[in-house]
Every structure is written in structure tokens, then in C-alpha cells.
Amino acid sequence: MTPQQTRSDAGLATALRISVSRLARRLRAERYTKGLEPGLSDTQLAALAALERHGQMTPGELADHEKVQPPSMTRVIAVLEERGLVIRAPHATDRRQVVLTVTGSGQAVVQQSRRLREAWLAKRLHELTPEERAILRAAAPILEKLSQS
């Protein structure tokens, strides 16, 4: 898009949507091209990463965190558990609940995925000018704010 087209909020929204989608797709592709945990969906990896980052969670908390319906998260958890990436344990105070914890294998998958994607992105950032990197540095908190709203 030209600078003229991004002057309006609608034009900026279009440009950001396209660029962020392409970047996200390219980052996901890094994981697949390196053969990391084949067959693990983006939703499954996101749930695994949330558990790795936040520690123990109930299935309901994880579904809420990932903005998916509980039945969908139940299927995600089943796959992660089957692969030995998470374990279930009884809840400390509520016998009706379980808590999910990432296993060592699950942590390794998340950390390797992060390393691959961050290495690719760092290489791309190095190709930018210092001024372009400064603009991205300033924009990063704003993009985070948008992603949380």
C-alpha cells in the first residue's frame, strides 16, 4: 500500500492486517520447514506455549486464555496429553477439576519453536536500517496493546 492509502484509519487497518498476517504466516512456516513437532496445529502449540509461560492452568482457564470454546480445548488437550507434552493432575482444592502442566518434552517443543522463529526474525531485522528498527521498537508496545484488546 502507498503512504496515501494508509493515511485513513481504514487504510492503515488494511495495511496492518495484510502485513501482520503475512508475518505470522511466515513465522509459522519456520516451524514447519524445520520439522518441529510435525502435526502439531497452531492452536495446540499456542495452548502449549500458554501453559509453558503461565504455569499450571485448568482446562477452562486455558480455553479462556486462548479464546476458544471449552470443547475445542478439550480436543487440543487430548492431543497434547497423548503426545506426552502435558500432564493432568488433580486440582489441589476442587476435586471436580484438573490442572494441566507442561512436561519437559513440551517445554522443549515450545522453546525450540521460539528459537527458530526468533532466529528467522532477528535475521530479517538485521537487514533493516537502524532507523527502521527504531520505528519497529517504538511500534512493538502498540502492536502488543492491539493484540490484547
Q: For residue range 81-116, list pLDDT tens digits in order.
A: 999 999 999 988 888 889 999 999 999 999 988 888
Asked whether residue 13 is assigned to any structural domain, the reply reads: no
Tell me the β-bridge partners of 99: 89
The pTM of the full predicted model, rounded to 2 decimals, is 0.77
Give the CATH number of the domain where residue 96 resides. 1.10.10.10
Asked whether residue 31 is assigned to any structural domain, the reply reads: no
- pLDDT tens string 115-133: 888 999 999 999 999 999 9
Asked whether residue 124 is assigned to any structural domain, the reply reads: yes
The mean per-residue pLDDT over the stretch 16-38 comes to 79
The Cα angle at residue 74 between residues 70 and 76, in degrees rounded to 5: 115
Q: How many domains does the chain divide into?
A: 1
Asked whether residue 3 is assigned to any structural domain, the reply reads: no
Asked if the model's pLDDT at residue 45 lies above 60, the reply is: yes
Rounded distance, CA 38 to CA 36, Å? 6
Rounded distance, CA 23 to CA 20, Å? 5
Asked whether residue 32 is assigned to any structural domain, the reply reads: no
Asked whether residue 103 is assigned to any structural domain, the reply reads: yes
